[in-house]
């Protein structure tokens, strides 16, 4: 997320009042997300380890020295920062002119949870590390770790890096990262957007997907995006249920060619409602897979009334990812994630 010149900002911010008590001077900067013009990064200018920060805008409140907020309704909005450091305090208010209503606002949604990865370390209040080797199915070769060599934040993005650590060409010779929101941020219904840039090359297999066991004994998996690097510039989406796995229902999958999937960020989205599930690329109107079964009462066909959790991972090799071998020259390689945003109906 970068600051944009005032002439092309979708919102213009101006300071209307700044107050300091006991000599605590408070001010902040506003940056507009050019890809999502109703999202704003707010950063306190005078940051100290002992300070607390509270932001208010459009009826919502956030904590932290740097936050990202969504202001969905067009118009002039007050944004206020209250900063406190011991017995010193102060506040600053700026007005932001929002020039358009956002898609979530028009769709009757609110931002339920998001991670913009603006901090210095992964937020383990929302994320878990899945770690280990040889237990993920698909005959994959990677060892998932919680090392900062494999999972870290850089320049406002989450990076999941796959590394060749051994001689190569066998299980355990590669490390990578696998993150989940299991037990922390789980959903049944909602709209999900993950903006990411993908690694490529033979043997690499990044994925953005949802999984859960609360529908047991029925199977439930939603693969928003899988990319096997040997199928260059082709992303895949799939819906897996008991019925699709045992062959009693037709497999639900679709692919889409994305020419710059390895060089540009794209938004991989899912809209999950009572009427079905749709996967889209960049815009909600650009749907590339739709699942609307005729019978929602059969949990072998529709197990999606139970919560699922998000998984972000980069696999190496395996039955699909390694179907044309693993090219050791591609390592290290990275999946970069700009943000994860989940919206729900009000």
CATH of the domain at 267: 2.60.120.200
* DSSP-derived 3-state class of residue 169: coil
Cα 315 from chain centre: 18
Q: Which of these three, 54, 85, 101, is where a domain ends? A: 101
Tell me, yes or no, whether 220 lies in a domain: yes
> In 3D, which of 115, 99, 114, 93 has the Cα closest to residue 32?
99
54 is catalytic: no
Q: Which residues of the chain are under the pLDDT cut of 70?
A: 1-22
Same domain, 257 and 339: yes
Same domain, 220 and 340: yes
H helix or E strand, kind and range, residue 30: strand 28-32
Tell me, yes or no, whether 114 lies in a domain: no
Can you read off the two tokens belonging to residue 213?
Answer: 């066991």
What is the Cα–Cα distance from 78 to 313, expressed in whole angstroms? Answer: 39
Contact 344, 192 (CB under 8 A): no
Contact 343, 191 (CB under 8 A): yes
pLDDT of residue 58: 86
pLDDT of residue 15: 57
H helix or E strand, kind and range, residue 266: strand 266-273
pLDDT of residue 273: 98
Tell me, yes or no, whether 109 lies in a domain: no
Residue of 109, 193, 226, 334 marked active site: 226
Same domain, 68 and 137: no
Q: Which of these three, 101, 120, 141, is where a domain ends? A: 101
pLDDT of residue 5: 32
Our count of domains for the chain comes to 2
What is the Cα–Cα distance from 278 to 290, expressed in whole angstroms? Answer: 4
Contact 193, 204 (CB under 8 A): no
Same domain, 167 and 244: yes
Q: What is the pLDDT of residues 225-256, one digit of tens each?
A: 999 999 999 999 999 999 999 999 999 999 99
Domain that holds residue 82: 6-101
Same domain, 135 and 97: no
Can you read off the two tokens belonging to residue 156?
Answer: 């406002």
Can you read off the two tokens belonging to residue 182?
Answer: 């299991």
226 is catalytic: yes
Contact 239, 277 (CB under 8 A): yes
What is the Cα–Cα distance from 330 to 200, expressed in whole angstroms? Answer: 8
Global pTM value:
0.93
Residue of 31, 140, 142, 221 marked active site: 221
Contact 223, 270 (CB under 8 A): no
Say which CATH number the domain at 32 has.
Answer: 2.60.40.10
Tell me, yes or no, whether 74 lies in a domain: yes
Same domain, 238 and 97: no
Same domain, 139 and 271: yes
């Amino acid at each position: 997320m970068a600051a944009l010149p005032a002439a092309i900002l979708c919102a213009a911010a101006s300071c209307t009042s700044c107050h300091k008590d006991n000599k605590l001077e408070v001010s902040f900067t506003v940056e507009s997300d050019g890809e999502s013009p109703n999202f704003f990064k707010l950063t306190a200018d005078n940051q100290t380890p002992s300070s607390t920060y509270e932001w208010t805008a459009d009826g919502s409140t956030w904590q932290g020295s740097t936050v990202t907020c969504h202001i969905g309704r067009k118009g002039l909005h007050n944004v206020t920062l209250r900063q406190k450091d011991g017995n010193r305090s102060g506040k600053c208010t700026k007005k932001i002119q929002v020039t358009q209503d956002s898609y979530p606002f028009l769709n009757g949604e609110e931002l339920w949870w998001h991670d913009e990865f603006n901090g210095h370390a992964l937020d383990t209040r929302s994320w878990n590390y899945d770690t280990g080797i040889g237990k993920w199915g698909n005959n994959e070769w990677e060892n998932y770790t919680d090392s900062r060599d494999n999972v870290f934040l850089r320049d406002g993005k989450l990076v999941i890096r796959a590394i060749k650590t051994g001689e190569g060409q066998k299980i355990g010779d590669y490390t990578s990262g696998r993150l989940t929101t299991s037990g922390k941020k789980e959903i049944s219904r909602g709209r999900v957007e993950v903006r990411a840039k993908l690694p490529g090359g033979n043997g690499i297999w990044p994925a953005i997907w949802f999984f859960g066991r609360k529908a047991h004994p029925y199977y439930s998996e939603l693969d928003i995006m899988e990319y096997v690097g040997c199928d260059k510039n082709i992303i895949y989406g799939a819906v897996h249920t008991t019925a699709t796995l045992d062959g009693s229902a037709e497999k639900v999958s679709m692919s889409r060619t994305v020419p710059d999937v390895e060089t540009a960020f794209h938004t991989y989205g899912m809209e999950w409602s009572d009427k079905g599930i749709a996967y889209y690329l960049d815009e909600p109107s650009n749907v590339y897979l739709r699942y609307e079964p005729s019978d929602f009462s059969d949990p072998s066909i529709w197990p999606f009334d139970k919560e699922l959790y998000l998984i972000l991972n980069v696999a190496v090799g395996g039955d699909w990812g390694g179907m044309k071998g693993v090219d050791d020259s591609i390592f290290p390689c990275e999946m970069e994630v700009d943000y994860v945003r989940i919206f729900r109906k009000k």
